[in-house]
C-alpha cells in the first residue's frame, strides 16, 4: 500500500470529489494518473516486488494507453 504525501492525498480527495460531481478535466485526469503511476513505481522499487505479484503477472494497466484513451472522450 502506498502512502501519499499530505499534498498528494489532498489532490486525490479533490479529484475524487470532482469525479463525483462530473467536473474533472482531462488535464486533471492526466495529472492523477501520472501521480499514481509515480507512486506505484516508488512502491515497486521500495519493496523489490514479490513472488506472488510476479507469478500472477501483475496485471497492471498500461498508463500510456489510459492517457491516450482520454483523448477519445
pLDDT tens digit at each of 73 positions of the chain: 457 788 888 999 999 999 999 999 999 999 998 888 887 766 665 566 555 555 555 667 777 777 777 777 6
| Per-residue model confidence (pLDDT) at position 15 | 94
| Per-residue model confidence (pLDDT) at position 48 | 61
Question: Taking Cα atoms as reference points, which of 21, 18, 47 lies closest to residue 31?
Answer: 18
| Per-residue model confidence (pLDDT) at position 24 | 93
Per the CB < 8 A criterion, the answer to whether 7 and 38 are in contact is no
Per the CB < 8 A criterion, the answer to whether 43 and 3 are in contact is no
Threshold 0.85, pTM exceeds: no
Query: CB atoms < 10 A from the CB of 70, how many?
Result: 13
Amino acid at each position: 500500500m502506498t502512502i501519499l504525501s499530505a499534498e498528494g492525498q489532498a489532490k486525490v480527495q479533490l479529484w475524487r470529489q470532482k469525479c463525483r460531481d462530473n467536473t474533472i478535466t482531462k488535464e486533471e485526469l492526466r495529472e492523477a494518473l501520472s501521480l499514481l503511476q509515480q507512486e506505484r513505481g516508488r512502491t515497486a522499487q521500495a519493496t523489490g516486488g514479490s513472488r506472488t505479484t510476479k507469478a500472477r503477472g501483475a496485471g497492471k494497466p498500461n498508463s500510456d494507453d489510459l492517457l491516450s484513451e482520454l483523448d477519445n472522450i
